[in-house]
Structures are given as C-alpha cells and as structure tokens.
Copies of this chain bind each other. A is one copy, B any other.
Amino acid sequence: MEICHLPSRFTFSADKMRKANLFETERFFLDAYCLLPGQEQKAHSHAAEDKVYLVMQGTVAVTVGDETQTLGKGMAVLAPAGASHGVKNESGAAAVVLAWMAPHPSFK
C-alpha cells in the first residue's frame, strides 16, 4: 500500500517554491507546494487539465482568471481547464498548498 505522511513532505527551499510530488499516475498528480514568504507559482494555464488548490498550512493569495482571493487553511479552489491560475505567499509565515491535477499533463 502506497502511504504518504503529508507533513513529513512539507519542506522548504530558500531559492523558490518547493514542489513535492505525493502521488502520480497517468490520470492525475498530487503535489505539495511549499512556499516561504514571498514565494509563488506564477499564473499559467492548462488547456485540458483541471486543478484544485487546497491550503494545508498558512495563508496564500490564489488567483483564478482575473480574481484573487486570500485563502487560509482548509480552503480550496477549483482552477478549471483553460483558466489562468497561480498562488503566492504574501503572508509572513510558511504556507503549504496541495495541488491536484487531472489528467496528468505528462501522460498525454
């Protein structure tokens, strides 16, 4: 059984947002995005993949389309295929966001 203890995978890099892959198959991936203050995933889009961001720790500013909202722990947002989306840690503390994407863009 492939088990993941998520908090043990929440590690950070001073250089940039750290992505830790938790699970992946041809059908999806689940990553943890670990963001120190000021770090971000710049807005981008995927033509045929849906993504969910789920905040596990801290507070982040999430953009989907032309809207930006501040989300705290336990909040999630859908970035449907084609919609520009990004996440930035504008707080003073470390933050972790799960990113689920389906299908996996590397297995087209």
Contact = CB atoms under 8 A, between A and B. Distances in A.
Contacts of A13: none
Nearest to A100: B100
A14 interface: no
Contacts of A65: 1
A69 B27 contact: no
Interface in A1-43: 1-7, 22-23, 25, 27-28, 30
B25 A77 contact: no
Nearest to A53: B3
Contacts of A25: 50, 78, 80-81
* Size bracket of the A interface: 20 to 34
B27 A50 contact: yes
Nearest to A3: B77
A46 B97 CA distance: 28
14 contacts: A1-B62, A1-B67, A1-B77, A2-B78, A5-B74, A6-B74, A7-B74, A25-B50, A25-B78, A27-B102, A27-B103, A28-B100, A30-B100, A100-B100
